[in-house]
């Protein structure tokens, strides 16, 4: 039995994922369906008033926006533009999966999978910004990592595209991020908004990630590091969108309203 | 049905129920600052009643279920729960007590060791001192209480 456990640990990651998928879709399948039900129950019981108010305001907005949407579609059709955001995303419910020994959730399960067009490496976003990335999919579900996962990396830039760097979770403080590799000659001020740069081919350009809080270090006079406050916290996100149509050249800047950074990059 | 068989049935029902609740109510339990680790509880309870090999098998199966819920560190929970089950079963030879206080302490220690080992081996982020000396002991205490409450269900004698 000990040997079997050691074999499981040393299996190639691809086989481990296959084994996990087999267990989830057989033994755990009924429990996971129930888990979703309990989750929704908990959510509705704690957020009834909030949801009611949200529904009322949404109903009002839908009425107002209906005409605008029709006009927008007509104009976009005339100009030969794509429909904004349509068919690019798949809505999903997200369930954090926290194991013993974890302070914050690092992985999650989605209730959509390969059947809905979700693929591995698909970005997962919430209205606030970047949530994480899908790692593996099966028929009706997918597993992924939050940005809190130690293996998570994303190429980032300032909203104006002047400074680039790599964002990773800040190890010692689980709910903060770190921007590394920012150029030395540029100093980012507190509140500067960071978005995905589109480099690396996983995350399209323009997904909000977080805001700079403070400078944390310099690397031998050629690069700077910053602490970043995320825009989305794993514990607070439940309904997400998964990007199902991906194109390495696409940008998501049109999906979020243009936001003005509280701070800007100051060139020294 | 004799007493031993009754105990075994009660034990199996307890282990299955704890496992089921662990996964079904995970979103609720995980949202608390601390909560019982019902999977560790199931393995530790089973370990007190069965032979080391069987206890290790229970740990192996439940650990595999736990590992299936995450993408990384696959096999870690399998290995740790297997070892916890095996060592837990060996304590039957060292501590013969049937007292509930002993069971509470045993569940506390077992869960604390499991969570501390997981934390250290996963290299989880956060303040290690706060986790090892506050969160993990609180989880372990909650597990001990839940385990204590399940005793009448599976121990009829």
Q: Write down the pLDDT at residue A256.
A: 65
Taking the C-alpha atoms of residue A252 and residue B2, their distance in angstroms, rounded to an integer, is 68
Residues A75 and A92 in one domain: no
Q: Is residue A39 part of a domain?
A: no
Task: Report yes or no: A156 and A167 within 8 Å, Cβ to Cβ.
Answer: yes
Q: Write down the pLDDT at residue A267.
A: 41
Place of tokens 């068989």: B5
Identify the top-confidence range among A117-131, A233-247, B77-91. B77-91
Residues A186 and A59 in one domain: no
Is residue B146 helix, strand or coil? helix
Q: Write down the pLDDT at residue A260.
A: 39
The pLDDT mean for chain A works out to 81
Place of tokens 């595209």: A161
Residues A55 and A185 in one domain: no
- Residue range(s) defining the domain that contains residue B91: 3-154
Residues A180 and A163 in one domain: yes
Name which of B136, B28, B33, B118 is nearest B76 in CA terms.
Answer: B118
Average pLDDT over residues A163-179: 86
Kindly tell me if the per-residue pLDDT of A80 is higher than 70: no
Q: Write down the pLDDT at residue A153.
A: 92
Other residues' Cβ atoms within 10 Å of the Cβ of residue A48? 10
Cβ–Cβ gap B65/A28 under 8 Å:
yes
Task: Report yes or no: B66 and A28 within 8 Å, Cβ to Cβ.
Answer: no
Min Cα separation A83/chain B (Å): 34
Under the banding of pLDDT at 50, 70 and 90, the label for residue A248 is low
Average pLDDT over residues A228-236: 88
Residues A72 and A186 in one domain: no
- Residue range(s) defining the domain that contains residue A253: 87-268
Tell me the β-bridge partners of A196: A156
Tokens of A258: 């243009």
pLDDT tens profile B99-140: 777 888 899 999 999 999 998 888 777 778 888 898 899 999
Residues A51 and A159 in one domain: no
Chain A residues touching residue B26 (CB < 8 angstroms): 35, 95, 97-98
ipTM entry = 0.81
Cα B48 to its chain centre, rounded Å, is 11
Q: Write down the pLDDT at residue A131.
A: 93
Pure H helices in B26-99: 26-30, 38-47, 52-67, 76-94
pTM here?
0.72
B61, B125, B126, B140: best mutation site toward chain A, by most A Cβ within 10 Å? B125
Place of tokens 């107002």: A64
Under the banding of pLDDT at 50, 70 and 90, the label for residue B1 is low
């Amino acid at each position: 039995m000990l040997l079997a456990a050691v074999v499981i640990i040393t299996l190639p990651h691809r086989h481990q994922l296959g084994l996990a998928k087999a267990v989830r879709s057989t033994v755990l399948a009924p429990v996971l369906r129930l888990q979703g039900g309990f989750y929704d129950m908990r959510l509705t019981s704690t957020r009834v008033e909030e949801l009611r108010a949200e529904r009322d305001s949404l109903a009002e907005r839908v009425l107002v926006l209906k005409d605008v949407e029709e006009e927008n579609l007509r104009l976009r059709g005339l100009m030969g533009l794509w429909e904004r955001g349509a068919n690019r995303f798949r809505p999903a419910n997200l369930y954090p999966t926290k194991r013993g020994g974890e302070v914050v959730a690092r992985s999650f399960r989605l209730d959509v999978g390969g059947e809905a067009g979700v693929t591995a490496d698909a970005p997962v976003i919430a209205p606030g910004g970047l949530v994480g990335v899908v790692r593996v999919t099966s028929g009706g579900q997918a597993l992924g990592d939050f940005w809190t996962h130690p293996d998570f990396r994303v190429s980032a830039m300032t909203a104006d595209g002047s400074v680039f760097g790599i964002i990773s979770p800040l190890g010692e403080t689980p709910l903060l991020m770190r921007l590394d590799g920012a150029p030395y000659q540029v100093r980012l001020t507190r509140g500067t908004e960071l978005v995905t740069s589109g480099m690396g081919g996983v995350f399209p350009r323009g997904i909000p990630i977080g805001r700079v809080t403070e400078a944390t270090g310099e690397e031998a006079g050629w690069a700077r590091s910053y602490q970043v406050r995320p825009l989305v916290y794993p514990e607070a996100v439940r309904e997400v969108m998964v990007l199902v149509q991906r194109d390495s050249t696409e940008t998501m800047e049109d999906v979020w309203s243009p936001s003005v950074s509280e701070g800007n990059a100051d060139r020294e | 049905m004799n007493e031993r068989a009754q105990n075994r049935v009660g034990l199996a029902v307890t282990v299955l129920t704890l496992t089921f609740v662990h996964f079904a109510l995970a979103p609720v339990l995980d949202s608390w600052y601390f909560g019982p680790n019902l999977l560790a509880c199931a393995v530790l309870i089973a370990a007190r009643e069965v032979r080391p090999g069987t206890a290790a098998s229970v740990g192996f199966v439940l650990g595999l279920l736990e590992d299936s819920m995450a993408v990384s560190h696959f096999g870690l929970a399998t290995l740790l729960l297997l070892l916890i089950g095996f060592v837990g079963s060996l304590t039957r030879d060292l501590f013969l007590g049937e007292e509930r206080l002993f069971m509470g302490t045993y569940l506390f220690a077992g869960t604390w060791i499991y969570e501390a080992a997981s934390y250290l081996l996963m290299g989880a982020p956060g303040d290690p001192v706060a986790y090892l000396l506050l969160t993990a002991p609180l989880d372990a205490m909650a597990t001990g209480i839940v385990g204590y409450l399940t005793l009448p269900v599976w121990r009829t004698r």
